[in-house]
Amino acid sequence: MPEQARPAELRPRTDKSRPPVSPRAIPVLSVWVRDLIISLAISAFIIVFLYQPVKVEGTSMMPSLDDQERIFVNKYVYRLEPIERGDIVVFRYPRDPSKSFIKRVIGLAGDRIRIEAGQVLVNDVALDEDYVPPAYADQRSYSEIIVPANSYFVLGDHRTMSNDSRDFGPVHVGYIYGKAVFGYWPMDKMGRVR
């Protein structure tokens, strides 16, 4: 009598190195990976197109911005609104575009700017600069200049320590790529940049 086929025997698993994967773990893991990828894409978009974190290097903008302070620069704002007097802008240094500078806008295109013994005059009107404490002011003079079209006259708040438009002239709008908007480090200076 021929032997009848016996059903395959079920043997207990002897491979203890890999525990069985729970059927619920795979969907949870895929959702987590998807959310991570979306978060990274949104972060990259914000950093590339909207806000860029930068570190201030140097003392030319003290006391408004300290050396090594961390701030966010809005790279999109000037597509929606014009650059205004008083804005703190980040731009490529005209003499070496591989470097970035940060300064305050003092003169707009067409403005007549001159400095007499440290007092800035815009169109013959003395500029009230409460952001420049007396300890940071200087007595330097600068002969009158008319700011060219599509350019801005910029100065550092720490006048005695600043390399600015008094040295390299007005900055063309093409070099300006953002506005300093928010300080986030150190914590005691966290807040809107003024």
Per-position pLDDT tens, the chain of length 194: 555 555 555 555 555 556 665 566 677 788 888 888 888 887 777 666 678 889 999 999 999 999 999 999 999 899 999 999 999 999 999 999 999 999 999 999 999 999 999 999 999 999 999 999 999 999 999 999 999 999 999 999 999 999 999 999 999 999 999 999 999 999 898 889 98
Please say whether the beta carbons of 89 and 108 come within 8 A.
no
Q: In what order do the strands lie in the sheet with 125-126?
A: 125-126, 119-122, 112-116, 142-146
Four-point Cα dihedral 162, 112, 91, 64, nearest 10: 50
What does the domain layout of the chain look like in residue ranges? 54-110+147-192
CATH number for the domain formed by residue range(s) 54-110+147-192: 2.10.109.10
pTM, full prediction = 0.77
The residue among 89, 194, 107 whose CA lies nearest residue 145 is 107
**Angle ∠(108,109,110) on CA atoms, nearest 5:** 110
Q: What is the pLDDT of residue 21?
A: 55
Catalytic residue IDs: 60, 103
Q: What is the pLDDT of residue 39?
A: 83
The residue among 87, 81, 101, 106 whose CA lies nearest residue 175 is 101
